Copies of this chain bind each other. A is one copy, B any other.
Amino acid sequence: MVEVARNDGGRVELALLLRRLTVELDAVGERFAKPHGLGRTDVRAVIAIMDATRRGEPLTAGGLGAAVGLSSASVTALVDRLERAGHVHRVRDATDRRRVVLQMSEASMAAGAAFFGGLQRELVAAMDGFSDDDLDSVRRWLTAMTEVVVAHR
């Protein structure tokens, strides 16, 4: 690894920086989860539900399972946990009464917005020191890296 870092123009270093950043972002997730009595999966679930709600396409139990990669049995247990903790409500869909749509509670929506929204604002603020050209480079880079990662099997 180190020995490769000679004539690559620092490209390997960027890969390592990226890994470091993802590790730290992971840690942030845990710092959010702990005080709220949530586990890893629960945070992913909450984020998925909030994202879907914001998109105006509320998640169903099944959709949540697909989103976070859980079996139906696990989704039931997961939603039980989140509901018991007051983070989501189960609501029977009016048009298809087999389905259960998940709604975030006001309080949890606010808590999530405060935590992650706060982080996002800090990140955006830290971008003030960058020119539009800088940020455009970053955007293209992030897009390229994501494509590689998605394609990697």
Residues in chain A within 8 A of chain B (CB atoms): 1-2, 8-15, 17-22, 24-26, 28, 30-31, 40, 54, 69, 118-120, 122-124, 126-127, 129-130, 132-135, 137-150, 152-153
Contacts of A142 in B (CB 8 A): 14, 17-18, 21
Query: From DSSP, what is the main secondary structure of chain A's interface residues?
Result: helix
Contact B129 A137 (CB under 8 A): no
Contacts of A138 in B (CB 8 A): 14, 137-138, 141
- Shortest beta-carbon distance from A32 to chain B in Å: 10
Of the residues B10, B15, B134, contact of A141 by C-beta under 8 Å: B134
Contact A13 B148 (CB under 8 A): no
